Amino acid sequence: MEDIHWLGHASFFFNDINNNTVYFVDPFQLENLNLKPADIIFITHAHYDHFSKADINLVLKDDTVIVGPSDVLDKIDIEIARKVFVSPRKDYKIKGFFFSTIAAYNNHSERLSFHPKENKWVGYIFNLNNQKIYHAGDTDFIEEMKSLRNLNLDVALLPIGGTYTMDVKEAAQAANVIAAKVTVPMHYKNLVGNNYKEVEEEFKNLVTNSKVVILEELQ
């Protein structure tokens, strides 16, 4: 887990020791962090707390590749050769780095307008340092997650905050079905407020088919 760094919310960066490269997912609120520039930036969807141009610019360098859905990449002003347009259920390779996409959307009746399935927003599955890592993006517990059990994932990064994504109970159901070796909760502290410790403990108690690890946010 030392190569996975939580930046808060749904934002992460990963150190690929095999390729000596740095990857970011949904960089957000990075202004006070001293971070290495990105080789690849992955964006799950177009909401401001996942697709922040200001934060992308903080870790951008001349050869950074940006990966994301078309409604994200169409808003980024870099040469087309540095953009990789993605949609759900596909496999990709960039700079020797393999990854896949999975759908990310709401199916809960009260959340359908937040992340519609037809937007074709994504989560990502990475092969990093001989680990399979799933970043779910903003999503509910959806049918597509059931197939992830067959991948024998090492790490699953799941939103648990409710309101816009699955809540702690729904996320625990997803974690038990996915059955990754380790499950890391994300996208919850700013949604549940001062009760976040209680939410973490509830998630730990409800997840019985995976080891829950609470990451410290990078300061």
What CATH class does 4-212 carry? alpha beta
What residues does each domain of the chain span?
4-212
Report strand pairing: 122-128 vs 131-135. Answer: antiparallel
Q: What is the largest CA-CA distance in the chain?
A: 47
Strand partners, 101: 124
Alpha carbons 136 and 122: distance in angstroms, whole number:
8
Q: What is the DSSP string of 122-156?
A: EEEEEEETTEEEEE--S--S-GGGGGGGGGT-SEE
pLDDT tens-digit readout, 18-67: 888 999 999 999 998 889 999 999 999 999 999 999 999 999 999 999 99
- Residue 93: its H or E element: strand 91-94
Alpha carbons 194 and 39: distance in angstroms, whole number:
35
pLDDT tens-digit readout, 142-201: 999 999 999 999 999 999 998 889 999 999 999 999 999 999 999 988 877 778 899 999
Q: How far apart are the first and last CA of the chain?
A: 17
To 10 degrees, what angle do helices 196-206 and 168-178 make?
Answer: 40
